[in-house]
Structure 1
């Protein structure tokens, strides 16, 4: 028995040796050679793979390669823009290959929703971006990486805060009440919102832009569809890729702020403009103590952080056998904030497998994400402008304010408020598990059945703590009005599940090819949340809900919880036909039901039709092929639906209001009051979008130059909008009912072009152009102008509207005509504004009165009110452009991504706030008797008409051109990699947003806001950063 046991280690060793030996290529030898193009030019960067394995390499800057391979093996050579070629080794040690140019990769496969198609046979407007392009951006946000890459896809930043998501719109605004975000589909499973994948786990992104392509998703296709395919494994030797970068970030722009000397001079001008030669007590801010002369406080150094770190590391392992393949990806992303108390880190893991046996193919995908985010206090940047430079500096770590400085208790309270803001802790922890399993069975060679189940579950918890800060007056007495502390808890859970069963039939006979697809889908989305808040912490050491006051009086705390469920059921079908790849036809229809509608209007039908013609395949076109390599024309029309509005809009809602007392006088018994705040509308029906699209795809001069153009017209019908309910109905304050009351159009043109030259010096360029015109064409109801809640500039003045004939979210502002600079102007203006003085903004009394009866208003009504407002543009740009430049020489490569936006108007609310608080630097140049040529209105306090945010004075041109990314890299040659036993090693330096050319005077001209109502209003949003980083790409 002992001898038998002793033999076990030897047997294990022999087994391991044989296993390792079996994994090595049989009779491996070194094969080398040069890869050239059609004209003999050497091509760097060509992928060389041993067929049936993942053993591979790439050609160096001279087109040279070297690889270990068996004598009887086959090498596969592939490169973008060229036909993939296989060459048998045949025992040769030297193997040179010449690649021929491909017909613009028309055999390339793109995702089209519930399937794939050859690019040559696509009849809709579909665009693709791969991981190589996406990975050039250093961001946790997918939208930021997509900006400028696809014509028709608009990306605007909601914030530069770490972890923030951008606003993505495909072919313009699609809804004025619901979400304008596209539908995300990851490996076939629809997601609720941004799936927040790491870029490293994404293989390709396909965007379905036209309704004919998106209508297969029915209810949620009106905003376009983003199809994400994650990385999959390939049969062969295991390959390992390790990528990473580390960088720093800085704020490079902002609204200039005054220093102490300029502030006092501006204050002097204020007094002079108010009182004329009688300056009054000009030095009143400093009258209490000379301590104010000692300060020149600038909170910028306290709030902003220089050289904040950003880093990203990813690991991908993939491989497999003929039957089983796998891909595992792990990613870490970390970003420190450029503003105190902000930062973000995320960890993603994804494992994909594919198993094929006989007629079965089973695929699985599992993903896990964890997040930690710290938010900067709301409006932190505004604090810079609210705090006068003569005031005492604030130590962000103080727990009490005892030195009130120059302005007594008022300053102490202000300092206490700031200290509490600086010490606020606002953290979110989140996680998501997602996955799907798909089983496909080949019933026959042409008929396949597929069943798929998947979904995700997301849980977030957010805790905000407003610390306890005590403030004292100059005598050390605790002030009666303290900064109120508190603790805020919020948690939510989102989950979605999808179950699909489909049949697909594919048949080719003669020159005819037919694809028939049909299926049934069921989806469920659930959302639950809980919120609680209590005030007046007993101690900063106890920061839980029970550590706050137990005072039962009204206002001591608030809370709520909610639960929502939305279910969808769909039946879908599609028929695709082509003849010899020349003539293509596609017809699809989807019938959907949503629980958000009453039974009468629950179901919606969404059909589509598209056709294409590869003109360049015709006999009559052959004489032109030397100049025009390919020509394809496309046309489509489709209908999509939108159910992205409030849940239970077809039912009345009841809201819990404030407590009320009942019983005898003096009773402390409190009761709860409920108010109906919205009314049921059983007739609410689907918003629908009908879109027509015409497109053309061309390539020239042996496919070196490519061009694509699309023209579209979208008619939005039965748009949902909440209308106010009259108080006579007994409804509560601001009660509404959702009705189908509006129509809207989106018209546009999308152009993209590219050029490439391959050789010892290779270079390529791609450009995109997007133009979208949005117009409200119908709006029922008594209000001709509907001001959007949330469209405030200074918490007082609403400026964004929904109005027929204008874009959704248009700016409606009070017009001005310069400032009062003469006695004649002053006398005329005082008839409208009796209190007007020299240097005031001149508001225009719009002509609204018809005095001669000809039906044309010819005179103002003598009042300043909303009737005087005029259209002043919107936050929607007239057009956007993207430009990518790439070049390589030998082993060096350089790339640049430019992005530009023209015609958007922005309201600089940060500049407005600085003016209202008297801390704007340009106030030293304001109008005065000594500076009568100034165009800056005289400062008369924050509430004066000169400072109101509703005028066109604060509107600025938001056009800009930005260098989004630039990188310079070096890839080590094959000879070095061989010695180091590596497949790839590339080092690079890069910068993101280093250059922005704009006239805008705020932090960032790319202002997306947090919704339609605030689009284009810069409220001191967290600024974008300029980033500088070094990175590596390593392959084993």
Structure 2
């Protein structure tokens, strides 16, 4: 039997009234929290004056406004926990939580970014904020992360307008360097300056390991010629090497191994039948119809099917570099002494499989700094280096003209009487070339401060010596024309030894006066340079 149950809640009308009252109060409180109007003024932290046109946005929304000419702003319909973002060019961005306030004044701090960064310029340093020319500075750390032992390879793509182009992939080759695009019909390279001393050639950058460099500065505009003269007509690249830091002794070892391979090679026709047909057809309609194959030939065409890239080139080349450095500083009789010592070995291998094709560098660097007086600093920078470059005795690019139907060796092991056989014979048995260079450069410098540091006098003396030696020998090689017909080719053979000597002295003496008066800054430099 079904029964209906009835429940009775005493005071029911009172309960429902209380429920509606609480709901209305909650809605009113929420509406009140969402209806805050905030006003304020934005001031400069240094001048204490108003900052007009400051962008103000509510984080997480599309609500935006800006300060007026008096730096005043107002925003309505904000929540009590809203976050206001203040941004303006030349100032640091600020995010401020409203926290229920209806008045919010903000002080913006100037943000010079990297404008206070010291940049190496001609015969000295300046702050970026005081530089009006086209200058770009690259940190040495940008190259340390790149697996290259060649400084010039590492600079590729790091600075806008700095174009470094290699004519080939031979290890140890020197590229063409260009700043600001096309220079003249005769070409033109920028001036290289290493530790304040103009380089004798672009080769000087190959004497350095990337780990020893603090910064690179690229001077692009014509103002660089005002300091370095006509040699700087195509720009200047300033290189500053590392030195020790007082109170910090560091031992560092860097090592990398890199694999390289050709990025683009012409794709050859390796199918012997197709190659023979195309070769014969290419001469059929010419007066020089000198390629004619018989039907018997095409029966045996597939006896040869050579991809000469695999025969003459390595699949990949391996390069490696090792650098060991000791740096730091100490105090000697209350006088600061800094030191930087480094040793490096680098080896770049080429792609040539049949003969030596490499570039080696051995280097030692020592830089000592000492301040015997509070206003005087002495510096001595010594670099000792040796490079070796092995070159093939014949151009390996000749393989582009080889036919896939050729063979390099005869069945008896002699070199075949074909273009492929003769090229391989010249590379392996025809001799070799080795370029060796040994040298050192010592730079001694002094810097003195006067007039409370406003007047600085600098002097540098550089002594550079290099000995170049190129050894080349050509040998006869044997070509097999038949089982019993072995002939010697390659001329009479010979040995040559070429020696060169580089003698370079450079002296710099320059004085710089810098003065800041209020918001005004001035700098005057007078210098003298001599080279022989």
Give the structure-1-normalised TM-score.
0.37
2:147 to 138, 141, 154: 138
1:620-699 equivalences under 5 Å are: none
Cα deviation per residue 1:212-257 (whole Å; 9 max; x = unaligned)?
A: 1342000311121111111111111311222211232222431111
* Cα distance in structure 2, aligned partners of 1:470 and 1:421: 12
Number of matched residues? 413
Q: CA deviation at 1:475?
A: 6.3
Max radius of gyration: which structure? 2
User: What's 1:339 paired with?
Assistant: 352
Q: Specify every segment of 5 or more residues in structure 2 that has no aligned partner in the other structure, as ranges.
A: 1-89, 93-108
Q: Deviations over 1:988-1009 (max 9, x none)?
A: xxxxxxxxxxxxxxxxxxxxxx
* Equivalent runs, 1:283-432 vs 2, <5 Å: 283=294, 294-321=303-330, 323-340=336-353, 341-358=356-373, 359-383=375-399, 385-394=400-409, 401=415, 411=417, 415-423=421-429, 424-432=431-439
Deviation at 1:110, TM superposition (A): 0.2
Instruction: Assess, with a 3 A threshold, how the Cα gap between structure 1 residues 182 and 473 changes in structure 2: closer, same or farther.
Output: same
CA distance in 2, matches of 1:271, 1:502: 71
User: Corresponding residue for 2:213?
Assistant: 202
Report if aligned partners of 1:412, 1:471 keep a CA contact under 8 Å in 2: no
Matched, 1:225 2:236: yes
3-state SS, counterpart of residue 233 of structure 2 = helix
Question: 1:162 is paired with a residue of what secondary structure?
Answer: coil
Residue 280 of structure 2 contacts residue 292 of structure 2 at CA under 8 Å; is this kept in 1? no
Paired with 2:377 and 2:221, the residues of 1 have a C-alpha distance of 31
Structure 1 Cα separation of the partners of residues 501 and 483 of structure 2: 51
Residues 218 and 475 of structure 1: CA distance in aligned 2, closer, same or farther (over 3 Å)? same
Distance 1:279 1:467, change over 3 A: closer
Give the match's secondary structure for 2:482: coil
> 2 CA distance for matches of 1:280 and 1:379?
26
2:161 counterpart residue number: 152
Matched, 1:269 2:281: yes
Are 1:486 and 2:494 matched, yes or no? yes
Aligned residue for 1:124, secondary structure, equals coil
Unaligned ranges ≥5, structure 1:
1-80, 84-99, 405-410, 525-1036
Look up the SS of the partner of 1:223 in the other structure: coil
Equivalent in the alignment of 2:507: 499
Q: Secondary structure at the match of 1:103?
A: coil
Q: Determine the C-alpha separation between the residues in 2 that align with 1:271 and 1:500.
A: 67
Identify the structure with bigger relative contact order (alpha carbons < 8 Å, sequence gap 6+): 1
Deviation (angstroms), 1:279? 11
8 Å contact 1:292–1:392 — kept in the other structure? no
Change (3 A) 1:271 1:107: closer
Give SS of 1:297's match: coil
Distance in 2 (CA, whole Å) between partners of 1:313 and 1:460 is: 24
CA gap of 1:422–1:508, structure 2 versus 1, over 3 A, is: same
Per-residue deviation, residues 466-492 of structure 1 (Å, max 9, x unmatched): 221133533634559655533333322
Maintained 8 Å contact 2:445/2:459: yes
Q: Aligned residue for 2:46? A: none
TM-fit CA distance, 1:317 = 1.7
Tell me what 2:122 maps to: 113
TM-score, normalised to structure 2, is: 0.70
Q: Conserved in 1, the CA contact under 8 Å of 2:425 and 2:478? A: no
Residue 181 of structure 2 corresponds to which residue in structure 1?
A: 172
Cα separation, 1, equivalents of 2:290 and 2:359:
51
Alignment of 1:700-719 (within 5 A): none
Aligned to 1:447: 455
Is 1:471–1:482's contact at 8 Å kept on the other side of the alignment?
A: no
CA distance in 1, matches of 2:256, 2:290: 59
Matched, 1:184 2:192: yes
Q: Are the aligned partners of 1:155 and 1:168 in contact in 2 as well (CA < 8 Å)?
A: yes
CA contact (8 A) 2:379 2:444 kept: yes
What is the CA RMSD across the aligned residues, in angstroms?
3.2
* Structure 1 residues 415 and 284, CA gap change in structure 2 (3 angstroms): farther
What residue in structure 1 maps to residue 267 of structure 2?
Answer: 256
Q: 1:247 to 1:506 in 2, by over 3 A?
A: closer
User: Offset at 1:209?
Assistant: 0.7
Cα displacement string for residues 505-547 of structure 1 (whole angstroms, at most 9, x for unaligned residues): 23334444332211211101xxxxxxxxxxxxxxxxxxxxxxx
Q: Return the offset for 1:443.
A: 4.4
3-state secondary structure, aligned to 2:442: strand
Assess if the C-alpha contact under 8 Å between 1:185 and 1:225 holds in 2.
yes
Equivalence for 1:433: 440
Q: Does the CA contact (< 8 Å) of 1:271 and 1:282 recur in 2?
A: no
Flag the 1:485–1:111 CA change in 2: closer, same or farther, 3 A: same
Is the CA contact 2:472–2:495 (under 8 Å) kept in the aligned structure 1?
yes
Q: Following the alignment from structure 1 to structure 2, what is the Cα–Cα distance between the partners of residues 144 and 456?
A: 24
Alignment map for 1:796-811 (pairs within 5 Å): none
